[in-house]
Structure 1
Amino acid sequence: MMEDRQFLIDLAKMKMPFGKYQGRFLIDLPEHYIVWYKTKGFPNGKLGKQMELVYELQLNGLEDIIRKIRQDYT
């Protein structure tokens, strides 16, 4: 459970490390970009898992949960 909490905190603080949207918080990436990765394949490792969660959150309109966590932990 603590690992899940830390994963969400890390996601809230994570910025895109490369590409067109480098430096933008993952949760703030445009939906079309995340959908493109969904069809292309998310990167391996933690970044891919974070982006996959962003996809699910955006799909369900829950991005504000992560933005609230970012406010609380920055």
Structure 2
Amino acid sequence: MHPEDLQRLVTLRMPFGKHAGTLIADLPGPYLAWFAREGFPEGQIGWLLALMHEIDHNGLNELLEPLRHQD
């Protein structure tokens, strides 16, 4: 993981599916858990979804708050 991956979670939006347009960091836990069970997509979006799932599953969402408020 790179520090910029965390920044991407609060700036990139889900490009497809039920929650298209939602920031990756704002995706609901059950949606992330579904990907964990069914398989994450390939590429950067899959990596970011897996990272967000780990953050959410371990209750670490508050770690992203300072990144949301950067200029």
Q: Taking structure 1 as the reference length, what is the TM-score of the superposition? A: 0.85
Structure with bigger RCO (C-alpha 8 Å, 6+ apart): 1
CA RMSD of aligned residues (A): 1.4
Name which of 49, 59, 66 aligns with 2:64: 66
Name which of 4, 8, 11 aligns with 1:13: 11
Name which of 25, 28, 32 aligns with 1:27: 25
Q: Which runs of 5+ in 2 are unaligned?
A: none
Is 1:56 matched with 2:54?
yes
Q: CA deviation at 1:12?
A: 1.8
Using the aligned pairs only, state the percent identity: 34
Larger % of helix: which? 1
Instruction: Tell me if structure 2 keeps the 8 A contact 1:27–1:67.
Output: no
Q: Which runs of 5+ in 1 are unaligned?
A: none
- Structure 1 stretches of 4+ moved >4 Å: none
Q: Taking structure 2 as the reference length, what is the TM-score of the superposition? A: 0.88
